[in-house]
Structure 1
Amino acid sequence: MRLIVIWAVVFFIASALATLMLYDNGRVSMVWGDWVLETSLSFMLAFVLAIIATGYFVVQLVMFLWHLPQIVARRRQMKRYSSAQNSMHEGLLALEYGDWQKAEKLLIKSAKYSESGLVHYLSAAKMAHNQGIVERRDYYLREAREAYPEEYIVIGLVEARLLQEKSPSDSVALLKALFEEDPKNAAVVRELAYGYRLTEQWDALEALLPAIKKSKAIVREDLWTLERQLMAGKLTLCLTYDELQTYWQSLAKKYQLEADILAEYVEQSISFGEESGLKELLEKSVGKLWNDRLVYQYGRLSLGPAFERLKMAEKWLQGREDNPVLLLTLGRLACQSQMWVMAQNHLKKSLQLCPQLETFHALASCYEAEGKTSQAALIYKEAIERLEDGSPKLIEA
């Protein structure tokens, strides 16, 4: 609407001037020394407008020619950006198809000309890593650091993740350096925490906990899982039973009944030859929340009458008749109670469900305890054959 009004005003003024000139064309005189130039006002106005238009065109032409190299360079750059974008698109598609070599080639092809060059370098490094070509991976990471020095944090994070599988200690060392540079970076804190967990550096992880909570780098559920793993890991660092007991007693009761923490405590206690109180702890924990690892540990206890533990474990069998871990535990307890047939039946069924070397050993030991050494030898032979071909076989006893 505004444009229409403007054009209407311009048209009105032009019409008024044209009408005025028709009635009186006017005269203009210009004197320069002895020279006198006379012309009509309309011609003079047209001449001035022509001069202005010509001047404007000349100025625009000069400006265009002045900026022409920049315009050409910008168009070339846009063409490169477009080509780089297409290469990135094709590279990511190749990545989805699992063609890492093609993906790497496409991604690195135009990394220097792309607005997202950092993504090109890092993705190409991942592709080289997936192919096991460490030299090219490291080369792409160096190129990324040279081209984008301000992005050292994200480049370091990517490198740490790539190193994590085969060189976890190097990965943690790199993450520690990044953490010293930027201790408030949530991504760095999170990766360092998981690195400590992977390398079982429990004391270092414990020292990092305040930074984890302050930065909120890990969501509450995952943080609780990490803390449980930390407590369980700290138990493995105890060198004596007294040290183990001291740390165990420092834990709150609710933590002591957590399955992974309790399982590690039981494992360590058994390794020190101390089983006092383990039976009650395991029964209480399994009664609240089922856990295969705790049930497995229950079958390894040797303190006190095995028959009592067998009767308790049989209560857990309802609804879990096909649980191979529970069947292994029942088989061990029945064997300790000299209930040979029951023990062998439970162990055979466990082997049918999930053949494990430990279950073979338990079954052979049960036959040996009964005095059937020849039958035990057959079980050992069956275990060796199973290990050689990897195919499941039912045991005929």
Structure 2
Amino acid sequence: MIGFLAIIVLALLLGTGLAFGLQYDLGYIRVSFGNYLVETNFWVGLALLVVIVVLTVMLIGLVRRLRNGTSVMSGWIARGKERRARRRTTQGLLALAEGNWPRAKKMLASSASDADTPLINYLAAAQASFECGDNEAVDKLLRKAFESTPGSDMAVGITQAQLQLAGNRVEQALATLLRLRKQSPHHPFVLKLLKTAYLRLEDWRELSKLLAELRKYNILVPAELDNLERQTWHNLLEQAANKCRKEQANIPNASLDPLTDLWDQLPSSMRRDERTIFNYTSLLAGLGDEAQAETLLRKVLRNHWSDELINLYGRVESQAPDEQLLLAEQWLKDRPNNAELMLALGRLSLRNELWGKAREYFETSLKLQRKRETLAELSRLNAHMGHDTASINLLMQSLENDNGLPHLPMPKA
């Protein structure tokens, strides 16, 4: 109210001032424009100037409103694009989850440029393209994903490696993973994917170098890691043995250094592992170095009993078979009812040409545990000792047991 009254008073004062001013002749205003000359009364000129100023102010205000209106319109259009992008992204992700790969690829790729998170769109679209079998589109979308978001090289690289592995492009996946490993040497998932790549390529040497890091960073559960380590070193031992066989083919008495040197490189946990010891000593024996195999088996069995290793011990031949038999009979004191030890003692008795003793050990082993292996040994021994009927009966028992024959009436001989 007070403000309104102030405006009225100000207007009255200005009006009174102008009325008094018009009574006096203040001259005229003359303006020249090239060949044109404009003359007017001072008060008229002043009025025109005021009108020009007012129109200028109004024009500036209009321009500002138009500019603001354009910004509002642009913002409205941009928000509309974002809403459509979010909707199409949602539809694309649903299609991806449903396995509708072509629709997922179309929806996700087309909405990526306007999406809040274009990286997710491009990566998901690459997955859909892979499922469609379009590897060229996969590479293109992954490149766009990398360009869309700074610092996304690790995420894009891991996705690329996963798709390459899934597409059986293992060598390309390995190259991708090695590049990622340079950026982040201890990245758990990169190490896990590297393990998969080496395993698929059967690159046991590189895998053996990776095992320590896999264990250090708990990449796999202990049981899985133990199996992987065992598998890796067993294959390396087999490769070394194959190298020795090739050398022996050219040089009969060739050294077994490739195999024995590799054994020295094994982690201590593997040199104590029962299956690994069995594998190594079997290879040694197969390559002709049964004496070294027997020595290692004897050392292990003194401190760690194993039915599997005692079975192998009965198969290898030492340079002193009589001492080997005596040693095994000492173990019998602590394990009088061990069927595998009895079988091994029977074989060691045969090496010492103690036929009757061997037969007793085989029969005792068979009473403790009926095994086809023991039946075959006893049958073979009986045949060579002239006990053909007993040998045939044992063979028949073995055949019946192996084939699970039912009990049926048979004619009497």
TM tier, smaller = 0.5 to 0.7
Contact 2:311 2:343 survives alignment (8 Å): no
Pick the aligned partner of 1:174 from 172, 190, 194: 172
Task: Provide the residue aligned with 1:73 in structure 2.
Answer: 81
Shift of 1:278: 2.7
CA pair 270-247 structure 1, distance change in 2 beyond 3 A: closer
Displacement of 1:183: 6.1
Match of 1:82 in 2: 90
> CA 1:112/1:330 → structure 2, altered by over 3 Å: closer, same or farther?
farther
Question: Counterparts of 1:367-386 in structure 2 under 5 Å?
Answer: 367-371=379-383, 372-382=390-400, 384-386=402-404
Q: Deviations over 1:225-268 (max 9, x none)?
A: 37855763554343347432465257279575554553333111
TM-score by length of 1: 0.58
- Which structure 2 residue ranges, 5 or more long, are not aligned? 19-42, 49-53, 109-117, 147-155, 350-356, 384-389, 407-413
1:366 aligns with 2:378: yes
Q: Note if contact 1:327-1:349 (Cα within 8 Å) is conserved in structure 2.
A: yes
Aligned to 1:19: 2
Q: Compared with structure 1, are the counterparts of its residues 291 and 193 closer, same or farther at alpha carbon in structure 2 (3 Å cutoff)? A: farther
Q: Percent identity?
A: 13
What is the SS of the residue equivalent to 2:255? helix
Asked which structure has the greater CA Rg, the reply is: 2
Q: Which residue of 2 aligns with 1:236?
A: 241
Q: How many residues align?
A: 311
SS in 1 for 2:289: coil
Deviation at 1:147, TM superposition (A): 1.2
Q: Which residue of 1 aligns with 2:133?
A: 139
Post-superposition Cα deviations, 1:92-120, rounded to whole Å, max 9, x if no partner, equal: xxxxxxxxxxx533x66424434534654
What's the TM-score once normalised by structure 2's chain length? 0.56
Query: In structure 2, which of residues 273, 277, 289 is the aligned counterpart of residue 274 of structure 1?
Result: 289
User: What is the match of residue 219 of structure 1?
Assistant: 216
Letter of the 1:343 partner, please give it. Answer: F
Distance in 1 (alpha carbons) for counterparts of 2:172 and 2:255? 33
Map of 1:343 onto structure 2: 362
Q: Which amino acid aligns with 1:143?
A: A
Contact 2:294 / 2:313 at 8 angstroms: preserved in 1?
yes
Q: CA deviation at 1:273?
A: 2.7
Contiguous gaps of at least 5 residues in structure 1: 1-17, 38-43, 92-102, 126-135, 164-169, 352-358, 392-397
Provide the C-alpha distance between the structure 1 equivalents of 2:339 and 2:198, rounded to a whole number of angstroms: 36
Q: CA deviation at 1:22?
A: 4.2
Q: Could you tell me which residue of structure 2 aligns to residue 14 of structure 1?
A: none
Distance in 1, matches of 2:284 and 2:103, equals 59
Structure 1 residue 350 displacement after superposition? 5.0
- Looking at structure 2, the residues matched to 200 and 139 of structure 1 have their Cα atoms a distance apart, in angstroms, of 26
Structure 2 vs 1, CA of residues 148 and 350 (structure 1 numbering), >3 Å: closer, same or farther?
farther
What are the equivalent positions in structure 2 for 1:1-397 lying under 5 Å apart?
18-22=1-5, 25-28=8-11, 33=44, 59-87=67-95, 91=97, 103-105=98-100, 109-114=103-108, 115=118, 116-117=120-121, 120=124, 137=131, 139=133, 141-149=135-143, 150=146, 151=156, 154-160=159-165, 163=168, 171=170, 173-178=171-176, 184=182, 186=185, 191-192=193-194, 195-196=197-198, 200-202=202-204, 209=209, 212=210, 216=213, 219=216, 225=229, 228-229=233-234, 232-233=237-238, 235-237=240-242, 238-239=244-245, 240=248, 242-245=254-257, 247-248=259-260, 251=264, 254=268, 257-289=272-304, 293-303=308-318, 304-305=321-322, 307-308=325-326, 310-311=328-329, 314=332, 317=335, 327-328=339-340, 330-334=342-346, 336-337=348-349, 338-340=357-359, 342-344=361-363, 346-347=365-366, 359-371=371-383, 372-382=390-400, 384-386=402-404
CA contact (8 A) 1:368 1:376 kept: no
Q: 1:311 to 1:286 in 2, by over 3 A?
A: same
Q: Distance in 2 between matches of 1:317 and 1:159?
A: 55
Q: Tell me the distance in 1 between the aligned counterparts of 2:367 and 2:288.
A: 29
* Paired residues of 2:343 and 2:365 also in contact (CA < 8 A): yes
Residues 311-334 of structure 1 show CA distances to partners (whole Å, capped at 9, x for unaligned) of 35546759xx8xxxx744543433
